[in-house]
Amino acid sequence: MRRFSTPTVFNGWEQVSRIDRRTVVNKQDVRDFMPQFGAIAGYAVTLEVQPSNPDHLRNTPDAPQRYREYLESMPGPKIVVIKDADSPNVIGTYFGEVNASLHRALGCVGLITDGGVRDVNEMASIGFKALAARLCVGHAYAWPVRWGHEVEVFGLKIASGQLIHADQHGFMIIPEEDQKKVFDATLFMDGNECTSVIEATQILAGRSMSETRAALVEAERRFGAAALETFGKKGEWSA
C-alpha cells in the first residue's frame, strides 16, 4: 500500500466500499513533517496525553510501562495516533527523538497527532514519519494518560487497531470489510487514469480545441466504462 499516495488509495477504496466517503478522512488540516518519505500504512495504536498537567507524572508513575505493554501487544506495522488533550493550545509534546526511537523499535512507522512534535531532523534520520499540528520546543509534562481507546484527531475518530494510510495530503481509515479488495482496486484505478484521461492530455499538444475536446470526452468515456465494467460503479471522471 505504501506504493501509492493516500489520494490514490482513496480512489481505489471508494470503488469497493459502501461506506460514506466523507467519514474516513481527516476533516481538518494536518502537516506532514517528512513528505519526502511518501506514504505510510499501519494499524492504529492510540494514546492520549495532556502536557499541561503535571499531576499525571505524580499520580501514575507506572503509566509509561503499562502503555508500552499495550503497544507491544498490538500487531504491526503500527501508526501512533495521539490525542493531545490541550489541543489547540499545544504547549508540549510527548514525541521527539527518544520516543520516536522507542516506538520504532516496537514496530511503529510513524505518528499522527493533533498536538506537536519536536526533533524532526532526528526523527527523519531514523525513518520515523510525523503528521502533526505544529512543532514544539519542550515536552512540558507530557505523560501517557489513556491508551487503547477511541480518539478524535483532525475531525476523524480512530479506534485502536484500525488500518490507516497517510501521506502529505492527510490520512484515511481503511475499514476492515474493504481491506482485502483495496489494493487491487487502487492498482486498477491508478492504471485506469494513466491509460485514459492522463494519457490523452499528454498527446494533445498542437491539436485544435475541437480535437482536444473530442479526445478528452472519449478518454473520460473509456475511464468510466472501465470502472463500470470492473466495479459496477462509474469512476470520478464519468458523466
Tens digit of each residue's pLDDT (9 = 90 or more) over 84-104: 999 999 999 999 999 999 999
So where are the chain's domains? 25-174, 181-231
Q: How many helices (H) and strands (E) does the chain have?
A: 8, 12
DSSP letters of 43-54? EEEEEEE-TT-T
Regions of the chain with pLDDT less than 70: 192-213, 215-224, 226, 233-239
Q: Which three cell numbers stand for residue 201?
A: 492530455
Topology of domain 25-174, CATH: Glucose Oxidase; domain 1 (3.50.30)
Q: Which three cell numbers stand for residue 189?
A: 484505478
- C-alpha 222/C-alpha 239 separation (Å) is 11
Global model pTM greater than 0.95: no
Supply the pLDDT for residue 182: 95
Supply the pLDDT for residue 176: 96
HSE, CB side, 13 Å, CA atoms: give it for residue 54. Answer: 1
Pairing of strands 40-49, 78-84: parallel
